[in-house]
């Protein structure tokens, strides 16, 4: 109930007015069954726009620190995350990422839609950074298709480090589903690089062959 209320009444109409989103390739999104939305990441508002344009409910693995904010903003963030059914886990990397991947697998095993940003954080400068392998490992484990998605313009609606939202045109492009068979560690890395290469080509942005620096959730405006 809360998810639909936020999407269609509270936040959704405002997002449509601000971004006037142009959506391409939505026919590539399966109507039923598990799937993984693997998207580029420019702004904190990206998740809201994906929820807005996807006809199916999407679940993200939220960083646990988003649940620890203080003041009115902190309470609002927690309410939105809980109301939309987002899953909070430690995403600090390495062995600590295991709970996130387990949570993602459960979402897919239940036939749901898992949203992930393979870069692991927002791009600091608009370029596409090296992808983390979690998305491919989960895809190989569950058999769920991966839908590559490119967003643009969201960083103008919601400029990183600045307060408030602005008017700017948002574009969201969905690619064809990709399937990945189980493979060894080298295969996982290669498949991840291939996914990032597709996101680079579809976005027209430059690629950076190292991981993007993580943003501090407490500093996001």
Q: What tens-digit pLDDT sequence spans the chain (221 residues)? A: 778 888 899 889 999 999 999 999 999 999 999 999 999 999 989 999 999 999 999 999 876 555 555 676 667 666 666 666 677 665 555 555 688 899 999 999 999 999 999 999 999 999 999 999 999 999 999 999 999 999 999 999 999 888 889 999 999 999 999 999 886 667 999 999 999 999 999 999 999 999 998 654 444 44
Distance CA 60, CA 114 (A): 6
Residue 92 Cα to chain centre, angstroms: 16
The answer to whether residue 220 is domain-embedded is no
Structure token digits, residue 77: 């963030």
Residues 59, 43, 100, 36: is their CA dihedral positive or negative?
A: positive
The answer to whether residue 139 is domain-embedded is yes
- Predicted confidence at residue 181, as pLDDT, reads 84
The answer to whether residue 221 is domain-embedded is no
- CATH code assigned at 178: 3.40.1130.10
Please state the domain count of the chain: 1
The answer to whether residue 189 is domain-embedded is yes
Task: Tell me the pTM.
Answer: 0.88
Question: C-alpha distances in angstroms, 181 versus 36, 119, 136, 140, 145?
Answer: 15, 21, 9, 5, 10
Query: Which element (helix H / strand E) includes 129?
Result: strand 128-129
Burial profile 166-187: b = 16 or more Cβ within 10 angstroms, e = fewer: eebebbbbbbeebebeeeeeee
The answer to whether residue 165 is domain-embedded is yes
Distance CA 62, CA 100 (A): 9
Domain span holding position 157: 2-214
Cβ-Cβ contacts under 8 Å for 101 (sequence gap 6 or more)? 134, 137, 138
The answer to whether residue 219 is domain-embedded is no
Residue 199: name the closest of 35, 22, 21, 41 by CA.
41
Number of C-beta neighbours around residue 164 at 10 A: 8
The answer to whether residue 76 is domain-embedded is yes
Structure token digits, residue 140: 């190989």
């Amino acid at each position: 109930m809360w998810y639909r209320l936020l999407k269609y009444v509270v936040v959704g109409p405002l997002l449509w007015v601000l971004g006037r989103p142009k959506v391409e390739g939505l026919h590539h999104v399966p109507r039923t069954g598990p799937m993984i939305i693997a998207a580029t990441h420019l702004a904190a508002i990206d998740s809201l726009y994906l929820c807005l344009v996807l006809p199916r409910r999407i679940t993200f693995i939220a960083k646990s620190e988003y649940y620890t904010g203080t003041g009115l903003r902190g309470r609002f963030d927690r309410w939105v995350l809980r109301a939309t059914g987002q899953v909070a886990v430690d995403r600090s990397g390495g062995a600590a990422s295991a709970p996130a991947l387990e949570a993602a697998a459960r979402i897919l095993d239940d036939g749901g839609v898992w949203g992930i940003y393979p870069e692991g954080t927002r791009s600091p400068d608009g370029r596409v950074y090296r992808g983390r392998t979690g998305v491919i490992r989960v895809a190989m484990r569950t058999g769920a298709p991966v839908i590559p998605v490119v967003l643009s313009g969201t960083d103008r609606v919601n400029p990183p480090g600045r307060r408030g939202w602005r008017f700017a045109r948002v574009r969201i492009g969905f690619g064809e589903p990709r399937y990945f068979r189980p493979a060894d560690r080298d295969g996982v890395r290669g498949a991840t690089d291939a996914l990032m290469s597709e996101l680079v080509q579809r976005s027209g942005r430059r690629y950076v062959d190292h991981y993007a620096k993580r943003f501090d959730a407490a500093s996001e405006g």
